Structures are given as structure tokens and as C-alpha cells.
Amino acid sequence: MYRTLPFCLLLIISLECLAQNPTSGSNPDPSKAPAAAITLEQAIQLAKSNAPQFRQALTESGLAREDKVQARADLLPGVSYTTGAIYTQPNGTPSGIYVAANSVHEYISQGVVHEALSVTSVADYRKAHFLEALGRAKAEVALRGLVSTVVQDFYGVIAFDRKAVNAQAAADEAKHFLGLSQQLEHGGEVAHSDVIKAQLQANDRERDLQEARLADEKARLALAVLIFPTFTRDYNLLDDLQQFPAIPDLPRVQELAARNNADVAAAIASMKAADQEVTSAIGGHLPSLNFNYFYGIDATHYATRTDGVSNLGYQVSASLDLPIFNWGATQSKVRQAQLRRDQANVELKSAQREALANLQGFYDEAKVALGQLDILRQSAELSVESLKLTNLRYRSGEATALEVVDAQNTAVQARNNYDDGAVRYRVALANLQTLTGSF
């Protein structure tokens, strides 16, 4: 009987383990497997597909591209086909009662090639070309802004996750200190005021923990709205916050910004489009040429031949239209276009100045953020060491409760500061790349 007791105990323990983990020894349900961690690159790709502001920028760019196609078509010959019949009331003459009629019965079946050329149509095409470039530049601006937003939200969630962990550790430490102070009070080693201070600290840390979890949840919800096509709260992020990409030197950054600044490119395209708008308006004062080529039949019978005579033939017409007077409407359009061009010129110069200022500011921000990371890491490590030493001193009666509380507050603040510093550097890099493009 006694020899079978260990086997029975082993059997009972095994059954309890299976009850706690029913999937042990069997294939797990794939539908319940933890979600794969989303990388920053994957989050950006998801946001590109689902962010409405970015999709709107792409739509505007596509519309501008189609406007250019239509403007180019206006410069090229158009081909059409027309067919019909005209009946004129007869009056005994071959043409009938109307002077302009060719015959009582007239049948038309013709292909028509039409071409219209003017300074206005050429300028409109060139304007559409620059507006297409403007649309592409704005789409690039929207993309870089989206990337910056995703970076900020992505690492913001990671930072809030870490702060929640820090808050939990701080709450546990406060509870431990409360228990220690109560134990020392029972032994007559500390006053009751230490227990009160420890209780207040534990209450504050518990409240901080609840706030940290709430902030973490809000950040996760905001990121989910940004990147997912359907709302979900069940996702994980790949925490690579400890990886710090290097910053190119300032001359390289300036070179990239001069070549890839989308805001300046948009302002330049807008300026060139405004120039073409002025040319288009001036074209209203100039002649326009119209050319038509007809081929088919225009005869008294709907047939290619009538009485042995071919009805097939062609006709060519050309006209030159010269505007004379329209009560100043054309000149008013010219003045409007010139006002828009002047405004575009002012906006271009402002964009160039702002780009230079932002480039220096974003670069300095990134350099400072990177330079502070080692200091923040060292402060976090020292604060943890200081807390350990202060707890030991308190146990031995060499430190007060206020010193322990201060060390706890310093430790949690230092850890949070380091996480904030890491996010700051990542966001600073993303902001810098809105001017330079990827590097």
C-alpha cells in the first residue's frame, strides 16, 4: 500500500496539470494562436491601404493625371462619324424652298477629322502637366506625413506598454515597502508615520498603474483605427525601440533635402502651373486655327453611286478665328491669372524658407535626442541601483521612509524618461525624413 502512494500522487499531479493546460500533448487550435507581431514596415503598409487622408491624396494625383490626358487629347486631331438625312419642302426647284438647302432630299454619311490649335490649348496642356507633378508631390507629402504619424503612434504604443510595465513594477515595489514598514513597525523599529507614508505611496502607485493601463489602451485603439481595415484590438507589435538607426551627417542630409523635398517640389509645380495659366489667359487675345477634313457622302441618295456617278468624296475646311472685342473679359482673366501666379511665387519662397528652417530644426532635434539616450539609460540604471541601496539602508535604520519614496519615484520616472527619449529619437528621424526621404 505504501509503495503505491508515490504513483498515486504522480497520477493526481498529472491530472491537475492536464486540467490547467488541456492542450498539453495535443495539437493547439490555430485560431487561438497568438497573433504575429506587426513590424513598423508592416504597419506603414497597412496604413497606406487604409488611411483615408493618404488615399485622398492618391485620388487627387490620379485625377490630375487624367486631366493631363484630357488636355493632351484636346491638342490632337479628333475623329468622329456622322450620318443623317435632311428633307426640305419642295417648291419646284432642285434645292427646295430653303435657300441654304442643297436638295429636297440630302443624305450625309461622313467621317470627320477635326483639329483646333491655339495658344490657350497648348498652355492648358502644359498647365495640366505641372498640375500632375503637383499632385505627385502632394501625394509624396501625404505619404511622408503618414509614415511620420505611424512611427509616432507605433512607438507610442510600445512606450505606453513599457510604462504600464514600469507602473506595475512601481506598484509592486510600493506594496513591498508597505509590507516592510508594517513589519518594522510591529518590531518597534519605525514609527507609524512610516506606514502611513508607505500606504500613501502604494495608493499613488496603484492609481498610476490604472492610468498607465488606460493610456496604453487608448494608444492601441488609436493605432488600430489608423492601420487596420476593420477595427480590432487583438494585435501585437514588434518592439525594436532599442534599435537606433544612425543619422547621416549634415551635408548629406542637406543634399537629400535639396533633391527630395516634396513640399518645395509641390510649390515649384504650383508656380509653374500658375505661369501656364497666365499664358492660357493671354491666349484669349490671340488667333486660333480650326481644321476639318470630311470624307464620305453628301448626296441626294443614300448610296455611294448615283446614276453612274460616285458620291464618295472629301472636303477640307480651315478657319482662323481672331478675337476682337469681348468687353474686357479676356484681360480680366489675365489679371486673375497674374494674381494667382504672384501668390504662388510668394508661397514658393515661403516653402523654401520653411524647408531650410525645418531641416535644421529636425536635424538638431534628432541629434540631441540621440545624444541624450546614453544619459537617460545611465539615469535609469542608477535609479534602480539607488532604490536597492536606499531599501537596504532603510532596513538597517539609516534611511527614512521619505528617502525610500523619493527613490521609488525617481526610479519609475527615470525608466519612463528613457522610453520617452527612445520614442523621441524615432519620431525625430521620421520628421527629418519628411524633408529628405528615406536614408
At 163-184, the pLDDT tens digits run 999 999 999 999 999 999 999 9
The pLDDT of residue 23 is 38
Q: Answer whether residue 190 shows pLDDT above 50.
A: yes
**Which residues pair with residue 83 across a beta bridge?**
109
Angle at CA 160, nearest 5°, toward 155 and 162? Answer: 95
Q: What cell does 231 get? A: 477595427
d(CA 242, CA 237): 14
Residue 69: exposure state from Cβ atoms within 10 A (0-12, 13-18, ≥19): exposed
| Phi, psi (deg, nearest 5) at residue 35 | -65, 145
Angle at CA 287, nearest 5°, toward 283 and 292? Answer: 115
Query: Residue 55 is inside which H or E element, if any?
Result: helix 52-75
Predicted TM-score (pTM) of this structure: 0.81
Q: Answer whether residue 22 shows pLDDT above 50.
A: no
The pLDDT of residue 439 is 84
Q: Answer whether residue 324 shows pLDDT above 80.
A: yes
**Percentage of residues in the chain having pLDDT higher than 70:** 92
Could you read off the pLDDT of 369-397 as tens digits, one per residue? 999 999 999 999 999 999 999 999 999 98
User: What type of residue sits at position 301?
Assistant: H
Could you read off the pLDDT of 28-52 as tens digits, one per residue? 444 445 567 999 999 999 999 999 9
The pLDDT of residue 19 is 40
Could you read off the pLDDT of 100-122 as tens digits, one per residue? 888 999 999 999 999 999 999 99
Q: Answer whether residue 86 shows pLDDT above 90.
A: yes
- Helix, strand or coil, per DSSP, at residue 316: strand
- Quick one: angle between helices 329-395 and 250-260, nearest 10? 150
Q: Answer whether residue 17 shows pLDDT above 70.
A: no
Could you read off the pLDDT of 64-75 as tens digits, one per residue? 999 999 999 999
Q: What is the mean pLDDT of residues 224-231?
A: 93
The pLDDT of residue 34 is 55
Sequence-ordered list of residues with C-beta below 8 angstroms from that of 55, at least 6 positions apart, any chain: none
The pLDDT of residue 30 is 43
Q: Answer whether residue 433 shows pLDDT above 60.
A: yes
Could you read off the pLDDT of 153-163 as tens digits, one per residue? 999 999 999 99
The pLDDT of residue 11 is 36
State the average pLDDT for the chain.
Answer: 90
The pLDDT of residue 188 is 87
CATH 1.20.1600.10 fits 119-286+335-439, yes or no: yes
The pLDDT of residue 21 is 41
Q: Answer whether residue 27 shows pLDDT above 50.
A: no
Is residue 308 very low, low, confident or very high in pLDDT (cuts 50, 70, 90)?
A: confident
Q: Which of 19-33, 162-176, 278-292, 340-354 has the weakest average pLDDT? A: 19-33
The pLDDT of residue 1 is 35
